[in-house]
Amino acid sequence: METGQDSTGKTLTGPEVIAACVRTLDGSPGVYRMLDAESRVLYVGKARNLRARVSNYARASGHSGRIARMIHETASMMVLTTRTETEALLLEQNLIKQLKPRYNVLLRDDKSFPNILISATHAFPQIKKHRGTRSEKGTYFGPFASAGAVNRTLNQLQKVFLLRNCTDAMFESRSRPCLLHQIKRCSAPCVGKITPQDYGALVAEASQFLEGKTTRVQADLAAAMAEASQAMEFERAAALRDRIRALTQVQSAQGINPAGVAEADVVALHLEGGQACVQVFFIRANQSWGNADFYPRTGAGAEEPEILEAFLAQFYDNKEPPRLILLSHALENPDLVTQLLSDRAGRKVELAVPQRGEKAELVENAARNARESLARKMAESASQNRLLSGLAEAFGLDSPPRRIEVYDNSHIQGTNAVGGMIVAGPDGFLKSQYRKFNIKSDAGANSDDFGMMKEVLTRRFERLLKEDPDRTSGAWPDLLLIDGGAGQVSAVAQIMQDLGVEDIAIVGVAKGVDRDAGKEEFHRPGAPPFALPHTDAVLYFVQRLRDEAHRWAIGAHRAKRAKAVSATPLDDVPGVGAARKKALLAHFGSAKAVARAGLSDLTAVDGISESLARKIHDFFHDRA
């Protein structure tokens, strides 16, 4: 690590720190970090040749305003060498995600996308939505841009191909057809309404459709309908007619269907006023499966090639790249990014910036969407900033809050108690940072709202004090909103004082007269309560924050309650996980029957060894 002092103890300036670091470098590939006077990482960069790359920063002039500011703030540097430049790029992106340096481009919304899965673990495969690692055996189709897009497609596919969507356990327990069969959404293989061969044919047709072979599927259905009509099997012909109609609806709902692009992601960037929007369109099987927009942090003024390169490296960190990626702008290092994505995919990935034809039209459509989305985002941000300024004025804050945390609790007579925290700021609701807290103390069972709030805040801020005592991560709030009046605010202020955190504003939102929306009273420690005018936009903003916290806490409580309802004594047996629990319940029908089973009966279950059968038997025997 090169520090900001020379051998005589003289403090070096940014260019001098960098020049001193250059003297220690060779031509190896690697990653360098620039740190400020407080050792906070300003920038993480990669290099094919560290000495050549870092020496560029030691020049006195010729830098953009962004780079000049970064160099001026640099007080020390850290360098790591790698074997290849591809390794350097991978390490760079990992460090950027971990450290979130101010001058780097950062993808802030790194969500996964859902797929459709046709399972391969059952004689009658299930069709379902799947998100996350592709660990289950079966055929995956996707990604789709949203869960809504998957659900709409699954809804139509059920009408066309009549595949089951029930779990294997539910399938095994059926004794008569479910409602989906009655409304012609399932062929009811669970009760033998269709043979394995005929169901397999439906699975093959569904796979062909999702692979883009829609014309062949439709032609086969039309031929089968004509054959049924000629054989005077009118009921079967009518059912095939309904499937053809449903298939036509699916095709018409697919949107843009490029004839010459079978599989690609279309990635377009629009940059304006230092803010960026990236639109990603997913093209699979010659069909558009939706789009998603992203607003990466631009690293205080990065330009299009750098933003797009950083976006691709971070976006495909946990996603499989397609064979073709169409881009709106050329990259700084296209060969390096191509190698990185090809290594991740285990096959060749091509990057292209099309200039004409259908591919160029796809990119232009994505770029137009990026431009329009950024305009809407900037308008919303301006409105949000006005609301935050109004909030600061109404609550007497020194400046508009950058991070608001709103807390609420939910329980029913002390059962399944959960605390909820939502987060909002200049970018609106930050849903990736919402948190829920299962109440562990007796406060939940005793319906003690004060006790529950104390547990939640103590756990929250003790963790912040441990993980980020210097408050450099952006995870510390400027304002706490509490659902409650003077009593709750006083209790929260005492909790924060006990934790040694006394510089965060606290405001309680009480229901007010008759508990009517619009008559809320606001409470602050050591100040009289006050109200806002009924038509004040800030009042509506606070109501939205409070309602969102309430919705989040209620949802967490309901999920916990539903899990408790479905819990069985088998959950507590050592060595019995989800798969073995399912096997036991499918074999015996209930947890009570498992508890009564003998050793020989338990070992007859698939996946239950003699030693595990002994554990299960002893567990229930000891409980009796």
3 state DSSP class of 76? strand
Same domain for 469 and 550? yes
The residue behind tokens 């009042």 is: 539
Instruction: Write out the two tokens for 4.
Output: 């900001």
Which residues on neighbouring strands pair with residue 415, listed in sequence order? Answer: 412
> What is each CA distance from 76 to 16, 79, 137, 153, 555, in whole angstroms?
10, 10, 50, 54, 47
- Residue 3 located in a structural domain: no
In this prediction, residue 338 carries a pLDDT of: 95
Residue 71 CA to residue 42 CA, distance in Å, equals: 9
Question: pLDDT per residue over 545-591, tens digit each?
Answer: 999 998 998 887 777 666 655 556 777 777 787 778 778 877 777 77
519 with 414, same domain: the answer is yes
Are the CB atoms for 12 and 4 separated by under 8 Å?
yes
Segments in 446-577 forming alpha helices (H) = 449-467, 486-499, 537-566
Is the model's pLDDT at 424 over the cut of 90? Answer: yes
Q: Is residue 616 part of a domain?
A: yes
Number of domain units in the chain: 5
pLDDT at 568: 67
Determine, yes or no, domain membership for 383.
no
What is the C-alpha separation between 77 and 71, in angstroms, rounded? 11
Q: How far apart are CA 99 and CA 556, in angstroms?
A: 30
* Same domain for 409 and 547: yes
pLDDT tens digits, 428-481: 899 889 999 988 877 655 667 788 888 899 999 999 999 888 887 889 999 999
Q: What is the CATH number of the domain that holds 607?
A: 1.10.150.20
Give a yes or no: residue 258 inside a domain.
no
Distance CA 528, CA 524 (A): 7
Cα angle 491, 496, 500 (rounded to 5 degrees) comes to 145
Inform me whether the pLDDT recorded for 301 exceeds 70: yes
CB 163 within 8 A of CB 149: no
pLDDT at 623 exceeding the cut of 60? no
Q: State which residues form the domain around 490.
A: 404-564
Measured in whole angstroms, the distance separating CA 227 from the mean position of its chain's CA atoms is: 48
Residue 491 lies in a domain: yes
pLDDT at 624: 40
Q: Which of 515, 532, 564 is the last residue of a domain?
A: 564
Alpha-carbon gap, residue 333 to 350, rounded angstroms: 13
Whole-number Å distance between alpha carbons of 167 and 85 = 46
Model confidence pLDDT, tens digit, residues 43-78 = 999 999 999 999 999 887 888 888 999 999 999 999
Cβ pair 552, 434 in contact under 8 A: yes
pLDDT of residue 534: 83
pLDDT of residue 622: 61
Q: What is the pLDDT of residues 174-205, one digit of tens each?
A: 888 888 888 888 999 999 999 999 899 889 88
Residue 552 sits in the same domain as residue 574: no
Same structural domain, 597 and 506: no
Tokens matching residue 64: 């953009």
Indicate whether 354 and 271 sit together in one domain: yes
Residues 33 and 154 in one domain: no
**Virtual CA dihedral for 367, 371, 374, 379, nearest 10 degrees?**
-160
Question: Is the model's pLDDT at 255 over the cut of 50?
Answer: no
* Radius of gyration for the chain, computed over Cα atoms and rounded to the nearest angstrom: 30
Judgement on whether residues 163 and 234 belong to the same structural domain of the protein:
yes
Residue at a domain's end among 547, 564, 581: 564
- Whether residues 419 and 560 share a domain: the answer is yes
Together in a domain, 469 and 546: yes
> CA distances (Å), 209 to each of 145, 161, 242, in order?
18, 10, 16
Domain presence at residue 396: no
Q: Is residue 109 part of a domain?
A: no
Specify whether the CB–CB gap between 118 and 93 falls below 8 A.
no
Count CB neighbours of 368 within 10 A.
13
Whole-model pTM?
Answer: 0.74
* Backbone φ and ψ of 493, nearest 5°: -60, -40
Q: 253: pLDDT confidence band, cut at 50, 70 and 90? A: very low
Say whether both 172 and 268 belong to one domain.
no
Here the tokens at position 225 are 């309908």
Res. 336 pLDDT band, cuts 50 70 90: very high
Better-scored residue on pLDDT, 85 or 170 = 85
Residue 384 located in a structural domain: no
Residue 327, beta-bridge partner list: 267
- Mean pLDDT, to the nearest integer, of 318-334? 93
CA distances 8 to 4, 14, 35, 274, Å, are 11, 17, 21, 41
- Is residue 33 within 8 A of residue 43, CB to CB? The reply is yes
Tokens 């004040």, residue located: 536
**Which H/E stretch holds residue 16?**
helix 14-22
What is the rounded distance in angstroms from the CA atom of residue 516 to the CA atom of residue 146?
36
How confident is the model at residue 617, as a pLDDT?
83
The CA-based angle 112-100-402, given to 5 degrees, is 90
The tokens for 175 are 């004794």
Strands 138-141 and 275-284: unpaired
- pLDDT exceeds 60 at position 516: no
Residue 272: phi, psi to the nearest 5? Answer: -155, 130
Separation CA 361–CA 341 (nearest Å): 24
Q: Looking at the structure, do residues 245 and 277 belong to the same domain, yes or no?
A: no
CA–CA distance, 597 with 591 (Å, rounded to integer): 10
Contacts (Cβ under 8 Å, ≥6 apart) of 195: none
| Helix then strand then coil, % of the chain, to nearest 5 | 50, 20, 35
CATH of the domain at 514: 3.30.420.340
